[in-house]
Structure 1
């Protein structure tokens, strides 16, 4: 998911999308692409919007990449971007990632190796700001999410990497089409929660001590370069 404006980076994203912000000398998007390829992924669809040409140029270096432009990127959110890619995804199950992440390869391998088909990956609390907490029941099924830890019985923090089956995603798209006009700015994580409660369970997979970070602004970038990137 790489359609966002990245406004919290200020001048850094005036000429490029935030996925191209470099951490430890390499852009976040290239780090993700190379990790996926190392794990055997052969098709990578990037849902683009702001500065889409940067991602289109990346196809020259990585032939595994396809792009899917969302012309409504400025007025929508991640669920719309995900829904917009439905024709290119076809009938495949897939991994869903955000473009502003750095992470260990074991995050991808754990999802690929899990017998669960529909998974939200979480870790112990890692971020010093903008945390998104996740609750699950005794069967490891997603039951609640919140940016306020005290509102739920938090089991960990959302990483921003998921695994979804074709059947689940198709149901998800059907449900979203019912509300797309009313909720164009819906985040996909809220759709996953709704689906898990009402349609089909989403399992929560926790990896303790996972090295990862979501980088939303210059403060995050500074923290990631000082505390995270050398451990990945």
Structure 2
């Protein structure tokens, strides 16, 4: 694959054979962000688990202290006073059954996170086939199925992110923007890593953190020494 000149220059700053300390990796991820837009900084964490087994699933949510740098649009499925509560908390869209055809038939997806009260999950369940593949299905583990819609919406707006394994047992999550200070990126990254280490399933055997890589949208991957987090 042919890479652009900017990528090639940025890649020269990174030694692929080295596992960097967190501080050094964050410094490099900022230096290698050379695009004309504010690049997203992402963490890619390979775990020593087998997500095909229910007792080895790793999934949860964590509020990053400095947010993700992205404005997150929240849709809340609720009824009665919970609708008003969600609106007051800052939800971008609120509703119930009437939203089903809009999402199912019209392909409306102008939202990034879906929250639902437990009594609405029968309704939301009808959208499983369209929300599931996009990773938008509300889930109690992620705190997106709850009666406390105020806290759910406020946490998401404050920088709450959901993490979960993909099919290759890797977690991919944003930890901020290239414009963030090194201190802000370090705070966010450390908060995420602490949450993932705590979420280690009892059934996981051997090395849990197989590899951790930081990258920006257009730049090379920077490997991190995981011994500090193990």
TM-score class normalised by the smaller sequence: under 0.3
TM-score normalised to structure 2 length: 0.25
Q: Which has the higher contact order (CA 8 A, sep 6+)?
A: 2
TM-score normalised to structure 1 length: 0.25
Larger radius of gyration: 2
